[in-house]
Structure 1
């Protein structure tokens, strides 16, 4: 699946960028093993529904899957070290000509991290790995004047990626409220590091803000989930209680609310979105794209509080981190306004797609017409109907000439065609541009092994069929999954799994010494009063005696007079 020779050394240099960043945040002299799997940018369906009389944005998706393992002594033989997976996270990257969205799809742990016996007070390596991996992907997929968005929903569950891990006693599962707080602390360094970098050097991010909304809770209750750093900010807080769906949308404010809500996989609001879309009629009169029960985006979030996933004792937190660049394209020039111009744009896109298959076509045809407006005002004016019809005739003429060439009768001596000898294993997944108008695919932002979408889903399905109930089962399941990925990777399998030794020195405060004897002030100390003979003593309680039976005298008994 992979190219020989150069690919091996190149991939090792590429993946070292991530390992160096992870080493700087992991505890000193503690060794982990990192496995990073990814897919190339692949065309997928749009995250947002298109407004009426317009087409959805062309969208590309990358899938990234990161797993972390440790080595721990076996219970039977202490000299034998077992490798076991302790953490996994999946991030889906959606790229368009207007923005890049990083959706945290799943994250789970097995509970075997405590076998490292880290000192008490050491920061959680899982939290540092998650924040560093997200920061790495955001930087490697950053494009000039293009906004980036990190999005996730926090919903507590026993196990997401490691079946049977809930049966292990060492796994600690957070509740809904604890999980929302945990993810806010994970994502807060993305904001804090950008704020500190702006003071040191000029950053291309104009602002980085976090957004949190918990359906069914007011602003005061929701603010309790924010990190302590955000609560201490009084003037300009880096976190906002609410959602940024209007802010990150490239459409006008009067579009239907269904055009503002993204459709992520296995997302609570996406399931509600599908139910509301059934209310939209299919006739010409109902083509405005409006729901019948929900009229605006604020009402959508109010109704989310009554969903089964967000009520009946359950709680779901929706979190966004929005990276706004210093200068952005004016959406007024990029977005097509009226229905007539949108129809013309659709025709031009069809022509572009038809000409892309012609070998002599210019490369500029494949770029989106709405992403890069021409500086010439004459070129920005909408094309005339006659010009479009004249252009439409050209593909038919080309098809006729190509058909005439195919009908040419062959004659003469038959020359046998020499077979093509396969001299190397070539990975055709790598044969795609690193940068286009819709995405950027830097080598530093790729995984150690690159597979297509089919193999990626097969690898994830294998992980969901294994067992992590105890240490022996988890070790054998981890070994099987790691070897299965390596066996189908070709020469890329040489870089599958890289050791990372932490270099971060953490100051651990001794809580036992801090919780010593508390010395009171002299004025607060009172002496015990001495008992004196003048004071009456309280009577001692009498001994408890068994109650006796009362016997009546003979004179008190009277016989009943007979009638």
Structure 2
């Protein structure tokens, strides 16, 4: 069912660089080989659709359940005190904390990374991160997307990252919203969160030498431009790279090759995507002759399409939804620096061949021997003659030899190992690039991949005990009973630890030392509210005025000058 990838540590190194220092995580990465699939973009009339391949990637992250730790409100230790604590000494139990699914669609013209699903279980606070430390979920999603972008780059081929943000209590882990410890993003907060996940990809240092241009696009149906701009990251160097709008004309290669193409050729068909379902509705309501021409009845422009999206599908449910794109335009030079797919520099990417048409021959057919013989004679009607068919000589079959003699028994062939042929395919073609560094630890068939992801939807993560059992079952099912997965130790230092080191020599006098939780002035109110911590011990307060001086000055503020008081004259 599965095949281990010979690969490597490129993803593990990238994830360990963004995980908190000293904490251990278990990484499970599944993928499928590139498989032929239906084209994302509809072809113009009388044209063949693009030959398209799709590969699935699923990343699951788990942590060890500390022994003796329950789901109660705890006071966390100060920064740097977790190295010898018991939160890293589990008893072999683990629980999933994050699941991320992405699909990679490749053609001869483009590579599209579509974020299908992302969800967390809410058990990450069991790790016992120091106060003020940001949740590593956003950094994990950003690092995984950057890993796929890095290892799916092809010379002269455009790359697009696309997703649809829709707030929901749970996507991959049933029951995770019931235990009350999961931080569920609002619709507004989820769109902002995804913008911050993808923002580091726009400002990567290697973009200037690997890509000609990198832009981010966002569309929130029903919001004005100034309201949409408030969702983008503020104060970052990449703020100028965000565009309020859609890149449909830039993503589809038909818009670059033709003077005019139907609108339906510019809108991709993703699974479980609202704009794809709206496109199917427009196709169904159009007349047959309009369907042949690729035009619609009620929508005549992309601007009108997005205006109507605010009243269709999930966009009309009363909650904000967002469409986000990152477009990486390739460098046109043949000798571009950076990683280039093997064979792409020497072999140009061929376009999809057009449909072949049978055209009648315009040349005069050669005359037959009968016409040559009667060319100069008198005209007479030519009667149809019977076609002379030469009988082919009969083939004589050799008689089979009857086996005689002693029968030699054959030894049975014992199957000592399980082998599949998932890896027996080229890693680079004109339509996809499948490097070893970009593959998962487990490479499975497409049918097995769907079954593995579907298995998560039938498990229960409502309580810690159920989540442990569900994690154990899922890991065992994927590995077919064998142990798999990689353990990673984080290397990202905590920002809170550096802040505590800077405030220690200042002598604020707020506590005894960094070894006790009360001295640092930080306490977790509830372990389910991730990031809601009290950092009053790190804030320098304004000194209070002297009590004696305050007492002397207080009576003077209550005395009113007698000349300003007008008394009512007494009546005689």
Q: Scaled by the length of structure 2, what TM-score is found?
A: 0.73
CA distance in 1, matches of 2:277, 2:65: 42
Deviation at 1:311, TM superposition (A): 2.8
Question: Against the structure 1 CA distance between its residues 369 and 69, is the aligned structure 2 distance closer, same or farther, given a 3 Å change threshold?
Answer: closer
Equivalent positions of 1:86-97 (< 5 A) are 86-97=97-108
Could you say what secondary structure the match of 1:278 adopts?
A: helix
Deviation at 1:100, TM superposition (A): 0.3
CA distance in 1, matches of 2:560, 2:291: 98
Equivalent positions of 1:429-448 (< 5 A) are 429-448=422-441
CA distance in 2, matches of 1:454, 1:272: 28
2:450 corresponding residue in structure 1: 457
1:502 corresponding residue in structure 2: 490
Deviation at 1:515, TM superposition (A): 3.7
2:206 corresponding residue in structure 1: 197
CA distance in 2, matches of 1:408, 1:276: 65
Q: Which protein has the bigger helix share?
A: 1
Could you say what secondary structure the match of 1:226 adopts?
A: coil
Instruction: Name whichever of 203-212 and 107-116 sits farther off.
Output: 203-212
**2:401 aligned to which of 410, 413, 426:** 413
CA distance in 1, matches of 2:433, 2:330: 16
Deviation at 1:178, TM superposition (A): 0.1
2:510 corresponding residue in structure 1: none
CA distance in 2, matches of 1:410, 1:466: 65
**2:355 pairs with 1:370:** no
CA distance in 2, matches of 1:282, 1:245: 25
Equivalent positions of 1:231-380 (< 5 A) are 233=239, 237-252=240-255, 254-283=260-289, 287-327=292-332, 370=351
Confirm or deny: 8 A CA contact 2:274 2:314 kept in the other structure. Answer: yes
**2:84 pairs with 1:57:** no
Confirm or deny: 8 A CA contact 1:69 1:87 kept in the other structure. Answer: yes
CA distance in 2, matches of 1:2, 1:316: 37
CA-based RMSD of the aligned residues comes to 3.5
CA-to-partner distance for each residue in 1:68-114, whole Å, 9 max, x for gaps?
00012255898645200000000000000000000000000000001
CA distance in 2, matches of 1:430, 1:457: 19
CA distance in 1, matches of 2:541, 2:228: 37
Deviation at 1:452, TM superposition (A): 0.8
Deviation at 1:427, TM superposition (A): 1.7
CA distance in 2, matches of 1:533, 1:58: 91
Could you say what secondary structure the match of 1:222 adopts?
A: helix
CA-to-partner distance for each residue in 1:174-201, whole Å, 9 max, x for gaps?
01110000000000010111xx235xxx
Could you say what secondary structure the match of 1:500 adopts?
A: strand
Could you say what secondary structure the match of 1:277 adopts?
A: helix
2:478 corresponding residue in structure 1: 485
Question: Against the structure 1 CA distance between its residues 368 and 29, is the aligned structure 2 distance closer, same or farther, given a 3 Å change threshold?
Answer: closer
CA distance in 2, matches of 1:57, 1:408: 50
Confirm or deny: 8 A CA contact 1:91 1:105 kept in the other structure. Answer: yes
Deviation at 1:535, TM superposition (A): 4.9
Deviation at 1:207, TM superposition (A): 1.2
What is the number of equivalent residue pairs in this alignment?
A: 454
Question: Against the structure 1 CA distance between its residues 429 and 70, is the aligned structure 2 distance closer, same or farther, given a 3 Å change threshold?
Answer: same
Which portions of structure 1, spanning 4 or more consecutive aligned residues, are displaced by more than 3 angstroms?
Answer: 74-81, 229-233, 366-369, 382-387, 407-411, 414-424, 513-516, 518-521, 525-538
Structure 1 runs not aligned, ≥5 long: 330-365, 374-381, 388-403, 539-563
CA-to-partner distance for each residue in 1:508-553, whole Å, 9 max, x for gaps?
24642454424799xxx99654434865999xxxxxxxxxxxxxxx
CA distance in 1, matches of 2:398, 2:67: 73
Question: Against the structure 1 CA distance between its residues 537 and 67, is the aligned structure 2 distance closer, same or farther, given a 3 Å change threshold?
Answer: farther
1:99 corresponding residue in structure 2: 110
2:120 corresponding residue in structure 1: 109
1:211 corresponding residue in structure 2: 217
